[in-house]
Chain A
Amino acid sequence: MGERERSVEEIIIERLSADNTPGPVANLLISALLGEEELDKALQSGPMAVHTASSEHGSAGSAEPVRSYLKSITVEGFRGIGPQITLPLSVGPGLTLVTGRNGSGKSSFAEAAEFALTGENRRWSGSGHSVERNGWRNLHQREATHIQVDMAEDGKHGTTTVRREWRQDGGLDEASSYVQASGAPRQPLSVLGWAKPLELYRPFLSYSELGALVRGKPSEMHDAMQAILGLDQLLDCERRLNNARKRTEGVSKVAGQELPALLVKLGSHQDERARAAERLLAARTWDLAALATLASGADAGTDELAGKLRQVTAITLPAVGIVEAAIGRYEAAIRHASALVGTRAADASRLAGLLSVALDHQREHAGQPCPVCGGRVLDQEWANNARREVTGLAAQAAEADAADAEQTAADRELAQLVPPKPSVLAADLGSEADPARASAAWDAWSPPGVSAAEFSAFTAAVEALKAQATEALRRRSEAWQPIAAALSVWTETARQSQQATAALRDIKKAVSWLRETGNQVRNARLAPFASTSARVWEMLRQESNVELGPITLAGAGPQRKVALDVTVDGVPGAALGVMSQGELHALGLALFLPRATAPGSPFGFIVIDDPVQSMDPAKVDGLARLLSDVAKSRQVVVFTHDDRLPAALRQLQLPATVWTVTRRERSELILKKTDDPVARYLDDARAMAKTEQLPERVRAVAVAGLCRSALEAACHDVVRARMLADGVRHDDVERALEAAQKLHDVMALALFGSTARGADVVGRLRALGGQAFVNVFRDVKSGVHDPVPGDLMQLARDTEKLARALRR
C-alpha cells in the first residue's frame, strides 16, 4: 500500500524496455493492451509505427471509489421471515452481530440483502438446491413479499433504496425491482453499475461458500483473483493476442490451402500462360510479382500460338481499288504497245538504221546503183529524200520505246503491290484457323497476268483467315479470363499469407513474452493481497500446524490456478486434504476478505453468514479480533447462531453492536439490541459500583471511567450517524473524532457538530435534562481523577439516561 499502484500497462512498458524486446513484438504487446482495434491496426500496418508513449491511456482512476454502506435491511414474507421487520444498521465502518438460534430467521436477512442486490443467492444457486428455490417464500405470509435494502453513500446526503417485490403468485425470478435515491424517480438496478463490482468484490459470504472458496475450481479462483487485482487487462491482452495468433495462423495457411484448386484450374487450361503459372507456383518461393503480371494478361510473349494468330491478324493487303487501278494502268500500257505493232512505227527504228547505213554507203560510192536492189542510182536526190526519211522514222521509234517503258513500269507496280507471302501462312495455326486457302491464293497470285476479280478472291481468302485468327484469339482470351481472375485473387491471398507468416512470428514471440512476464506482473500485484490473506490466516490459525505460505497465481490456460503454499507440520504439498473443516473455513475467510475489502470495491460493507461454525474455540477469538480489525475500515455485518463470537468480542472488549433475533409463532421475528459499546460500559460500571470489596475511592474512579467511556461511545454514535447522514466522508468523520480527544470536545461535536462550541455544552445539557445531566457530565469528567463521593449506581443510571437522550 502507500505508494500509488502502477497500472498493468506501466509495468509492461517498463519491462519491455528493460529486456530490450524487439520493436515489432513490443508494438504488438502494447497494441494488444490498448484493445482489439489497436492490435488490428498494428497487424495491418506491419512492423512499424511503434508505440512509445501511451501514458495517456493507462494510469486512470487509481483513486478509491465512493463506498456504499447499509442503512437497514427490511424483509417481509421472504424465507424465514413473515410479517415485515427491519434490521437497522449503523452506517459506516463498525461491527454488527446478529445472533439467533438456528431457524430463528436471522440468515434470512443475509439472504435477503444478497438477493436484493444481486438477484441471486450463492447458497441456493449452487447445485441441487431446488428445495431452497421453491421454499423462498415464507409459509405464513404468502400475500405480500418484498425485500428492501436502504443504503447510504459515503460522503453523500440521503438514502438509496433497492427493493424487490413479488406478486402473490409470482415466481422467484418474477420480482419487480428498482433502485431509488431519495427524491429521485425509480430506476432499474442497472443504474448502480454494480454488475462487475459484485462479481469482483462480492461482499456476501455464507457458511456454505466458505469451503467452496477453497475447494472451488482452481481456474475460477485464478480468474477471480486476476480480475480483482486489475489484471483482467492482462488477461484481455493475452486473449487478444491469442485470437490474433489464431486468425493470423489461418490467414498464413490460406494460400497453401487454396493452391490445389488453382492448380486444377490451371491444369485444365491449354494456354501457355497456364504452364508459365504452374512453373512459377512450383518454385520454392512464389514470385508473386511475376504471377500478378501473368494474371493481368499483359505479357503474351510466352504464348507461341497466340503470337502466330496475332501475326495473321496483322497481315494487310492493298485495297482492291488500288490493285484495280494498277491493273488498269498495266493493261493500258499493253494496249498502247500492241497498237503500234504492224505500223511503221514498229519498224521505224530498224528502217532508220538501214537508211543511215545506206546513206553512209552513198557518200563513198555516190552515183552508183543500189547494191541491195541494183536498180536505182543512189544520187543526191535519193540522199536528200533518205535523210528526211531517217528524221521521221526516229520520231516514230521514240513513240514505240515510250510505250515499251510504260508497260514495264506498270508491270513492276503490279508486282510490288502485294507483299511476299508471310511465313506464318505455312505454319500450324491450330484447330481454329486454316491458312491453306489463303496460302494457295497467295501462291496463285502472279502478276502481271492478274485480274481484279482474281485479287478480290485472293483478298477474300486472306480476310477469312484473319477473321478466323481474330475469333480464335478472342475465344482464347475469354477462356483465360476466369483463370486470370482466379490467379490474381490467389496472388493477393498469397501476399496476405506471406505477410501473415511474417506477423505470426512476432505474435508468437509476444505471446510467449507475455506468458513469462505475465506471471511476474501478476505476482507483483498479488503481493499485497497475499499478505492480507497471510495476516488473516495468522489471526485465525492460532496454533494450527498448518502454515500458509505465499499465495501465487500459477499455470496458464486450463491449468491456471491459485497456488496455496500450504504446509502441514512443515511438510509441503500435504495441502488441503488434511485440513480440518474449521481450518478450511479459516482459509476460505483468508481468501474472501482480501477480495471483499480490496481498495477498488464500491462496497463499504461485507455480510458474512455464520463463519463460526466448526471453528475451534481458539479460532473464535482470532475471528473476533479479525472481524473487529476489518470493522475499522468496513461495515461488517455478521450473522451467527453461536454465542461464542459475541462472548469473545465482549470479553476482549472489542466494540460491536449485537442484535438478537427470536422467532415467535407464524414467523414473527423480534429483534432486540442486546449489546453495544454503551450498554457494555454501563454494565461494567454497574458491576464495578457493586463491588464492595474495593475501597470507595477506587470504585468511584473506575465507575466514573466506565461511565465516561459509555458517554464517549454514545457521542461517537451520534457524531457518526449525523455526519455521515450529512454527507461527510467516513474518513473525515473518523478524523474529526480522533481530533476530539477530551470528553468535552466529543460532547460538543455530538451536540453541535463542532468542537468550537465547547462553551455551549453545559447550557445545552441543561436544556436537555436539567441540572441532573449537567451534574453527570461534570462528575464523569472529574471523577476519573478525583473520586466523587456519592451513589455510584445513581451515576451509572444518570449516565445511561444522558446517553439515551443523546442518541435519541
Chain B
Amino acid sequence: MSASSVTPEELLDSADQLLTSSFAGSGNVWPQACALLTRLALELTLDQHWARNLPSAAECGMRQQLLLLPSYGGPEAALLAREAWLGLAGATHHHAYELAPTAAELRGWHTTVTRLTALLAP
C-alpha cells in the first residue's frame, strides 16, 4: 500500500473530529459528512480485508460482501459490519425528507466501525 493511500483510521479520526468539535466550513451538513467518512472507513476496511483474503469480493456489492464475511472474517466481524452498514447506508442515502442522524447515532456507528477495523486489522 502506497504511503499516500488513506487509511480507515484516518477517516475515523476525521469523523471523530466532526463529532467532537465543529469544523470551519462544515456548517449544517456535518452529520452527513461524519456519516460519509464513517461509511468510507467501513468500505475501506472491508476492501483491505478482501485484498488480503478474497480479492474478487471487493468488486461485489455490499450484500454479497456481508454474506461472505462470516466465512472469511468470522461471525463477530460479520455482525459488526452488518450493524454499521444498516445505519450508515440509511444515513448517507440522500432522502430529501429524512432528518440528519443525531450525534448519538453517529457515535454508535463510529464505535462499531472502529471495532471492526481493529478486528480485521492484519
Within 8 A of A (CB), among B61-111: 61, 63-64, 67-68, 71, 79, 82-83, 85-87, 90-91, 101-105, 107-108
Bound state CA distance, A687 and B86, in angstroms? 18
B121 interface contact, C-beta 8 A: no
Contacts of B63 in A (CB 8 A): 684, 687
* CB atoms of A694 and B60 under 8 A apart: yes
In contact, B68 and A618 (Cβ under 8 angstroms): no
Question: CB-CB < 8 A to B85: which residues of A?
Answer: 651
Residues of A within 8 A of B101 (CB): 617-618
CA separation between A688 and B83, bound complex, in Å?
20
Q: A542-B105, A542-B108 are in contact. Are A694 and B57 (CB under 8 A)?
A: yes
B5 within 8 A of A: no
Instruction: State whether the Cβ of A705 lies closer than 8 Å to any Cβ in chain B.
Output: yes
Contacts of A617 in B (CB 8 A): 87, 90-91, 101, 105
How distant is the Cα of A693 from the Cα of B65 in the complex, in angstroms? 11
Q: Are B64 and A618 in contact (CB under 8 A)?
A: no
**Residue picked from B63, B86, B102, most chain A C-beta under 10 Å:** B86
A688 to B90, CA, bound (A): 22
CB <8 Å contact, B60 and A618: no
- Closest chain-A Cβ to B51's Cβ sits at a distance in Å of 14
B54 at the interface (CB under 8 A from A): yes
B105: min CB distance to chain A, Å: 4
By a CB distance below 8 angstroms, the chain A residues around B83 are 621, 652
Contacts of B57 in A (CB 8 A): 693-694, 698
The residue among A542, A543, A544 with the most chain B CB atoms within 10 A of its own CB is A543
Binding site secondary structure of chain A: helix
Is there an interface contact between A705 and B71, defined as CB atoms closer than 8 Å?
yes
B87 near A652 (CB under 8 angstroms)?
no
**Inter-chain contacts of A695 with B (CB < 8 A):** 56
Does A652 contact B82, Cβ atoms closer than 8 Å? yes
Is A691 an interface position by the 8 A CB rule?
A: yes
CA distance A617 to B88 in the complex (A): 10
- Give a binary string over A299-341; 1 marks a CB under 8 Å from any B CB, 0 the rest: 0000000000000000000000000000000000000000000
- Please determine whether A698 and B68 come into contact, CB atoms closer than 8 angstroms: yes
Q: Which residue of B lies closest to A706 (CB)?
A: B67
Q: How many residues of B contact A (CB 8 A)?
A: 26
Question: C-beta contact mask, B41-60 vs A, less than 8 Å → 1, else 0?
Answer: 00000000000001011011
In contact, A698 and B104 (Cβ under 8 angstroms)? no
What residue of chain B has the Cβ atom nearest to residue A544's Cβ? B104
User: Contacts A616-B102, A702-B71 given: A621-B64 contact, CB under 8 Å?
Assistant: no
Which residues of B lie under 8 Å from residue A687 when comparing CB positions?
61, 63-64, 67
Bound CA span A440–B6, Å: 147
The A521-567 residues at the B interface (CB cut-off 8 A) are 542-545
For residue A643, give the distance in angstroms from its CB to the closest CB of chain B.
Answer: 11
A701 closest partner in B (C-beta): B71
State which size class the interface on A falls in: 20 to 34
Q: Which of A545, A616, A694 contacts B105 (CB 8 A)?
A: A616
Judge if A648 is at the interface, Cβ distance under 8 Å. yes
Q: State which of A618, A652, A684, A688 has its C-beta within 8 Å of the C-beta of B108.
A: A618
A542 cross-chain contacts in B, Cβ below 8 A: 104-105, 108
Determine whether A653 belongs to the interface, using a CB cutoff of 8 Å to chain B. Answer: yes
- The one of A618, A684, A693, A698 in contact with B87, judged by C-beta atoms closer than 8 angstroms, is A618
Contact of B86 among A544, A651, A698, A705 (CB under 8 A): A651
CB proximity of A246 to chain B, nearest CB, Å: 53
With known contacts A652-B83, A691-B60, A698–B54 Cβ distance under 8 A: yes
Given A688-B67, A698-B56, A698-B68: A621 and B86 within 8 A (CB)? yes
**Do A543 and B86 touch across chains, with their CB atoms under 8 A apart?**
no
CB distance from A688 to the nearest CB of B (A): 6
**A residues 585-619 in Cβ contact with B at 8 Å:** 616-618
Residues on B with C-beta less than 8 A from A618 are 87, 101-102, 104-105, 108
Residues of chain B with a CB closer than 8 A to A691's CB: 60-61, 64
Residue of A542, A617, A688 with most chain B CB atoms under a 10 A cut-off: A617
Closest CB in chain A relative to B91 CB, distance in Å = 7
Please tell me if the beta carbons of A543 and B105 are within 8 angstroms of each other in the complex.
yes
Smallest CB gap from B59: residue in A? A693
A698 to B86, CA, bound (A): 25
Assembly CA distance A706 to B63 (angstroms)? 13
Q: CA A616 – CA B105 in complex, angstroms?
A: 9
Q: How far is the CA of A684 from the CA of B57 in the complex (A)?
A: 15
Shortest Cβ distance from residue A620 to the other chain B in the assembled complex, whole angstroms: 9
Contacts of B87 in A (CB 8 A): 617-618, 621
Bound Cα distance A621, B109 (Å): 12
C-alpha spacing A632/B57, complex, angstroms: 33
User: Which parts of B8-64 form the interface with A (CB within 8 Å)?
Assistant: 54, 56-57, 59-61, 63-64
B11: min CB distance to chain A, Å: 20
CA distance A621 to B105 in the complex (A): 11
- Cβ B82 vs Cβ A651 within 8 A: yes
> Cα distance A45–B60 when bound, in Å?
86
Closest approach, in angstroms, between the C-beta of A709 and any C-beta of chain B?
A: 10
A695–B64 alpha-carbon span in the complex (Å): 13
In the assembled complex, the CB of B2 is this many whole angstroms from the nearest CB of chain A, namely: 24
Mask: chain A, 416-427; 1 = CB below 8 Å from B; 0 = not: 000000000000
Residues in B whose Cβ lies below 8 Å from that of A545: 104
Instruction: Tell me how far the C-beta of A404 lies from the nearest C-beta in chain B, rounded to whole angstroms.
Output: 146
Point out the residues of chain B lying under 8 angstroms from A706, CB to CB: 67
The 8 A-B pairs at the shortest CB distance, nearest first, are namely A543-B104, A693-B59, A618-B105, A651-B86, A691-B64, A543-B108, A694-B56, A691-B60
A-B contact pairs, 9 of them (CB 8 A): A543-B108, A618-B102, A687-B67, A691-B61, A694-B56, A694-B57, A694-B60, A694-B68, A702-B68
Additional A-B contact list (15), CB under 8 Å, known A617-B91, A705-B71: A542-B105, A542-B108, A543-B104, A617-B101, A618-B105, A621-B87, A652-B83, A653-B82, A684-B63, A684-B67, A691-B60, A691-B61, A691-B64, A693-B59, A694-B64
